[in-house]
Structure 1
Amino acid sequence: MLVILAKITKHNCINMEYFLQFLTLLGLLLSFIIYSYKISMRKTQEKSNKLIAPEPSGALPFIGHLHHLRVQVPVARILGNMADDYGPAYTLRLGSHRALVISNPQMVKDCFTINERNFATRPNLSAGRYLNYDNAGFGMSPYGQYWREMRKMAVSELFTSQRVEKFKHIRTSQVKNSINELSMLSQRNGGRASVINISKWFERIPLNIIVRILVGKGFSNGNNEQESHVKEAIKKLVCLSGVFVVSDFFPNLDWMDIGGHLKAMKQVAKELDGVIEKWLNEHIEKTRM
């Protein structure tokens, strides 16, 4: 009898020990839930005390308002139509990010003058990482000491009226050469009607101006294979800089490379590195002569 009672007592003690552990875990869980609830209520109250720009209806779980932007209509028109309905300032949920859209000139001026520090930084996009040397370029660099130094250099060395005037002859000569080329193309059939790809003609003008300013030479009008390769790489760069990359809005999907844009960016960056390296070597050789 004593042995049986001892076993029962020991069994009850073990059950009581498990029960106390369960109560402890339950208490910790309840404390965590209450603490999280208070934090969320505090954040909600803080947000309610602030002025928040309105948000258009129709946001979907996980993707937000991205489905409104994936249509054939230009994005500027879509955002303009939303501004007509929700005012000059409203917010959009783009995947895991929230964006503020402003269409009022005075508000834009306030953002980039009075509140410049709050709006000067740039998002960490795939184009900046793979096409801009990990956001090292001025256009994609986040706000900080590096960005301020780059802006100071750009304002004093690139965007001054003296610097713009210095390259006036390049712009004038390039436009003149392009008009002469267009005239020659229109007369190549002995005065008869000629078919001219005006899109490529307009495309060549700013490209030649930029390259001549940067490296001192432009592209010829012939079918030079190397020049064609460079122009194609630059066109890809411009296109990929503005392409929709899924992982920019859903960072956890970066490894999937949906659409293959990340692979294309790495390839274009490699091609342009070779082009820039060749231009630098040519410049070094000229300075040595």
Structure 2
Amino acid sequence: MVPEATGSWPIIGHLHLLAGSQVTHKLLGSMADKFGPIFTIKLGVHRVLVVSSSEMAKECLTTNDRVFASRPKAMATELMGYNYASFGLAPYGAYWRQIRKIVVLELASQHCLQMLADIQVSEVKSSIIDIYRSWERNKVSSEMVMVDMKQWFGNLIVNMVVRMMFGNHFTPGEQNGDQFQKAIKRFLVLLGAFVPSDAIPWLRWFDLGGYEKKMKKTAKEVDVVFNG
């Protein structure tokens, strides 16, 4: 029997502990010192298993991997993942296994990866040329130019993905490219956000934090770029 951590409150469970100033992984680490390498906590209506040792992790991810193979349902996956149809976010089951077969065969096989390798090399070269041209345009007497590497890597990754998927890429400063990057950034931020109604479903009526509105808007923005 896996022990449950003490300190659970009615309805919200241990959520009040996560609202403190201590970062989550340190909080769970201190709880592991008290309750052992495996214990459970309650996040609203959901019971969550916490493991904090390599032996326990191996037990969960190899020996009993099928038990832990699925993904929890969440508002973000529903609204931005095409109602759980997105392969990377879909729950484990017959649908996921079928899509995985298609992805492995058509997208991730060694032959496909070799075919796409030239695109990766080409985009890196193109991005380096963009840096050089930026230096030529903006250099001053010191011949030094500030380069936003975060934006540079963002452009590089977006262009790789878009070219692999659609055969073309965005030029620096292109409106569609900027729109796509902003939409993807919002998508990833919302995907990792804590949504109260994921833990306590009846709170969805109130849309605390406006997450449902933001997710629906972001899903439409991503669709617009892809359709274009």
Relative to the length of structure 1, the TM-score reads 0.69
Normalized per residue, which structure has more helix? 1
- Find the aligned partners of 2:128 and 2:110 in 1 and give their Cα distance: 26
Any idea what SS the aligned residue of 1:221 has? coil
- Find the aligned partners of 2:5 and 2:106 in 1 and give their Cα distance: 43
Pick the aligned partner of 1:66 from 15, 19, 27: 15
Check 1:180–1:152 CA distance in 2 against 1; reply closer, same or farther (3 A cut): same
- Find the aligned partners of 2:146 and 2:18 in 1 and give their Cα distance: 36
Pick the aligned partner of 2:78 from 105, 129, 146: 129
Q: Percent identity?
A: 39
Pick the aligned partner of 1:240 from 171, 190, 199: 190
Any idea what SS the aligned residue of 1:140 has? coil
Pick the aligned partner of 2:87 from 107, 124, 138: 138
Any idea what SS the aligned residue of 2:12 has? coil
Encode CA deviations 1:180-219: one digit per residue, 9 max, x unaligned.
3334444532344433322212222222211111111222
- Find the aligned partners of 1:137 and 1:212 in 2 and give their Cα distance: 20
Instruction: Say yes or no: does 1:210 pair with 2:161.
Output: yes
Any idea what SS the aligned residue of 1:112 has? helix
Shift in Å, 1:71: 5.2
Equivalence for 1:116: 65
Relative to the length of structure 2, the TM-score reads 0.85
Check 1:212–1:105 CA distance in 2 against 1; reply closer, same or farther (3 A cut): farther
Equivalence for 2:209: 259
The 5-angstrom pairing of residues 193-208 of structure 1 reads 193-208=144-159
Equivalence for 2:177: 227
Unmatched segments (≥5 aa) in structure 2? none
Equivalence for 1:42: none
- Find the aligned partners of 1:168 and 1:76 in 2 and give their Cα distance: 37
The 5-angstrom pairing of residues 268-279 of structure 1 reads 268-278=218-228
Unmatched segments (≥5 aa) in structure 1? 1-50, 279-289
Shift in Å, 1:256: 0.6
Shift in Å, 1:252: 0.6
Q: Contact 2:170–2:176 (CA<8 Å) still a contact in 1?
A: no
Equivalence for 2:49: 100
How many aligned positions are there?
A: 226
Encode CA deviations 1:237-287: one digit per residue, 9 max, x unaligned.
111111111100010111110011101111111222222223xxxxxxxxx
Shift in Å, 1:66: 2.2
Which structure: larger Rg?
1
- Find the aligned partners of 1:96 and 1:82 in 2 and give their Cα distance: 20
Any idea what SS the aligned residue of 2:67 has? helix
Shift in Å, 1:84: 4.8
Check 1:225–1:119 CA distance in 2 against 1; reply closer, same or farther (3 A cut): same
Any idea what SS the aligned residue of 1:252 has? helix
Shift in Å, 1:146: 1.0
Instruction: Say yes or no: does 1:177 pair with 2:113.
Output: no
Any idea what SS the aligned residue of 2:126 has? helix
Any idea what SS the aligned residue of 1:116 has? coil
